[in-house]
Structure 1
């Protein structure tokens, strides 16, 4: 488990803002698809996560929750959120992965207007068309390599983040947004069937508030879910979310 920078105040504030995606209706799927990053027992993040559960029954203002707390370092805040969104979006995809196959999704797309090509500069030096499950598998591995790289996500607070850290996180978050695009446009029925839509919507709103608050994903990318976002966020306002 990659240990993020040990600034307890950041973790405490962050963890109290989270809403868990673990729901009873997901358990069957989770047996075969686990998030690649967990909170190991005994670690700082695990302990803070457990403490935070006691606060999850109170209203959560997600828009306020993503703002950088006073006197905190933005790179720390960004690192914590980037890793957590990776965990949770990875898990969300696992929920619908049984219906996302090379046959049903021969391209990584978001409807007829958006198609995403894979390029990593190593195995795929040129933009390459791939089936959605293969694209997402490669994406999750690509992200995991970076968040486990001590030169990119240093665990020691004495080691500074690299100069291009924000750009790295922008690329990670942009690519994770594309997973939302594919899930919402091509697998929304599966989310609804599993009763997972409210959980997915909460995660998306949390993600959307964070990336727009800190300008991490371009408006051009966000256009792919513009109508849904307006319906989900703008029209409903920033209502407090109560976790039962």
Structure 2
């Protein structure tokens, strides 16, 4: 599970510029930014299934922990992510994220609306005892892994949007070490437990490579 905590974000009076996507040279790929972390913990030790522990329980506990940390982090930047600054939910390479509603329709919506949908969906799942049981001896449902995969895809997109559209604010708030640590932990965990498809990771490969190289 996540062993680091997001530091308290101090209020800033400066007005930050509009999102920094479409820049030719992404600042989050630059060495002086990509090398920053808030912990030197062995990530591979953190992501490995502990001996004797049920894998579903391990995935469940980490899903809850990642959600709490990423929801907290994104909340710290919510005032900068508005329908006017982010009319579409997008990530690196201007990859647009569409929300699929209960009827299977794909909706193109603003970033704050998309990620509000995402966090509400995850919160509802995590508090459903039939999906994420908390009672001793309870069993996880059939198809649990597919629900976990969907949660991690939404969490990945949340961080991807922050890197792509709000990295200038992240730098101004000195939160890039937290963001790098969260993202590295998330992607390593997903790779270790096969939670994301290669096509989901492909648009972020430059970032993953930069963090691995400079971490």
1:133 matched residue in structure 2: 112
Match of 2:214 in 1: 236
**Within 5 Å, which residues of 2 pair with 1:51-200?**
59-121=40-102, 125-200=104-179
- SS of residue matched to 1:187: helix
Alignment TM-score, normalising by the size of structure 2: 0.83
Structure 1: runs of 5 or more not aligned: 1-13, 30-56, 238-244
In 2, Cα distance between equivalents of 1:230 and 1:59: 18
Distance 1:92 1:139 in 2: 14
Q: Is the CA contact 2:92–2:163 (under 8 Å) kept in the aligned structure 1?
A: no
By how many angstroms is 1:18 displaced? 1.0
d(CA) in 1 for partners of 2:101, 2:55: 27
Higher relative CO (Cα under 8 Å, sequence separation at least 6) belongs to: 2
Aligned to 1:50: none
CA 1:190 to 1:58, structure 2 compared with 1: closer, same or farther past 3 Å? closer
Distance 2:167 2:207 in 1: 12
Q: Deviations over 1:178-203 (max 9, x none)?
A: 11111001111110000000011111
Matching residue of 1:18: 3
CA distance in structure 2 between the aligned counterparts of 1:224 and 1:93, rounded to whole angstroms:
20
* Separation in 2, partners of 1:109, 1:19: 27
**Is the contact made by 1:181 and 1:224 (CA closer than 8 Å) also made in structure 2?**
no
Q: What CA RMSD, in Å, does the superposition of the two structures yield over aligned residues?
A: 1.8
Q: Indicate whether 1:207 and 2:207 are aligned.
A: no
Residue 80 of structure 1 aligns to a residue whose secondary structure is helix
- When the two structures are aligned, how many residues end up with a matched partner? 190
Question: What is the CA-CA distance between 1:120 and the residue it aligns to?
Answer: 3.2
For the residues of structure 2 that align with 1:78 and 1:112, how far apart are their CA atoms? 30
CA distance in 2, matches of 1:155, 1:58: 30
SS across alignment from 1:203 = helix
Q: 1:111 to 1:228 in 2, by over 3 A?
A: closer
